[in-house]
Amino acid sequence: MRARRPGLLLFAALLALGALTPGLRAAEDAKPVVLLTGFEPFGGLEKNASWESVKTFDGKEIGGYKIVTALLPVVYDEMAAPLAKAIETHKPAIVLSFGVGSQVVQVETLARNGYHPYKPQDNKGNRPPRLKIDPEGANEIPVQLPVDAIVTALQAQRIGAWTSKDAGGYLCNECFYRLMAAAPKAPIAMRGFVHVPDFGSQDPAGGTYTAEKLQKAVQIVVEETVKAAKAQAATSARK
């Protein structure tokens, strides 16, 4: 086996230390960002399938987009600050929020400005703080995702999926509404919310929802959204 050349060893060392040219770092920073969010455990559970399914994508790349993740608390109103901070910090082109609590992978299509008064307490024992999430906000906001393409792609991989017009009146819907109502300084091309079943739930398409299957579902959601965002950008560029 040939000995490695000193120049190659130096290059490898610099690469490992992140000491290469600023141009490489600038190119990495210039890549558009997909922000994925999930929730902390609640209701006595040790894990939340939404966070466990998205956290493994942090730092990866899909379709030329860099993936970053953020964990949100299951506390009324308090989940708003870390969501806003993640958007402000990363200036994502796409934001996809995930929550647990559906029978299949459920792509939400309508964010509603309201809480359900009989929903469970949050992780601090609080009930919904008021009737509306934002008393001055719109009653409903439609999603900005390629919903049909996502569901079709999921079903093609034998992952049970459908669309929904009701994200519930708990923290998932609050996250969804706040995300859709947000007006960040940097524009977000696409944003939306997806519910996932808990680990071990029966999948009507076959088998159960394992960690691997839900991670595959997250990847498909990202891939289809990235494709739609690229097509949207190309259409805008031609106008």
Point out the residues that are catalytic: 108, 172, 195
Spatial separation of the C-alpha atoms in residues 101 and 50, rounded to whole Å:
9
Nearest to 180 by CA among 95, 120, 98: 95
Considering Cα of 229, then 151, then 169, then 71, what sign does the dihedral take? negative
